[in-house]
Amino acid sequence: MATLLEQRQMCTEAAVNRLFGTLSVTAAALGFIASPASAARITVDSDDYAVGTNLTAALNDVQVSLLRQGGSSGYAPTRSDVYTFECTDSRCAYNAGPTAFASSNDLYYFEQCAETGRPTPCGAGWQVVEFILGSTTDFFEISFGWLSDGPGVIFYDVNDNLIDQCFLPFGSPLWSCGAVTYVGDYMSSGSSSMVMSLQLDEARISRVVAGGVITPVTVNSFSYNVPAPGPSGLFVFGLVILGLRRRLAA
């Protein structure tokens, strides 16, 4: 017959096993039930930062830079930090908070230079805004201000392959915009805004380049999705519990 100490030990082991079993089943079930497609929307608005803020240094999960080139016969851009500034010209008349974080132009020349390396578009000079995401996303949106020429945007995957693009000179598509959507607000003063976005079925967007098709536009805000931490964290917790249970049973 088992001694009193042995009986207590067996009871303790049974209680521990029941506890681990309950925790593991609960955590795993929650991890599977919760939708893996859930995501949190992050918005970076220049109006939320003081004028002169270095956004390149302030942001952690996305790198925002000015990509520029001029006078070179091949694709050889330089990168510089992006700072918020007080936008006082008519491009920002529509915006209640006239702060912007980048002014960019000649996206068309950037696209031609990056794709072909031809001397004419590379040497013409251009300045665009580049967003490099810390993790791929299924959604990205940019808000622009423009006056005489509309904005454009190009989306790339993690291998720098083209996903989609849209050029809107004077607010109208230069050619098909594919899955890129755009909504403009045109004011009698001549100042206009444009919101351009891309929604995919899976997280493939890794890099975004944007700017005025030819003449300068301002980039005022952008938004993107990041995975929600809950479901995956619960599922991993369930796996850990199962592992501990097996070690105790060994």
What residue type is assigned to position 229 of the chain? P
Please give the backbone phi and psi of residue 215, each rounded to the nearest 5 degrees, phi first: -90, 165
Per the CB < 8 A criterion, the answer to whether 56 and 63 are in contact is: yes
pTM of the complete model: 0.76
Q: Looking at residues 149-154, what average pLDDT do you find?
A: 90
- How does residue 169 score in pLDDT terms, banded at 50, 70 and 90? confident
| pLDDT given at position 93 | 55
Alpha-carbon distance of 207 to 163, in angstroms, equals: 10
| pLDDT given at position 100 | 83
Per the CB < 8 A criterion, the answer to whether 96 and 80 are in contact is: no
| pLDDT given at position 246 | 55
User: In the Cβ-directed half-sphere of 116, how many Cα atoms lie within 13 Å?
Assistant: 12
Digit-coded pLDDT (tens) for 49-86: 999 999 999 999 999 999 998 877 788 899 999 999 88
Q: Looking at residues 101-129, what average pLDDT do you find?
A: 86
| pLDDT given at position 32 | 43
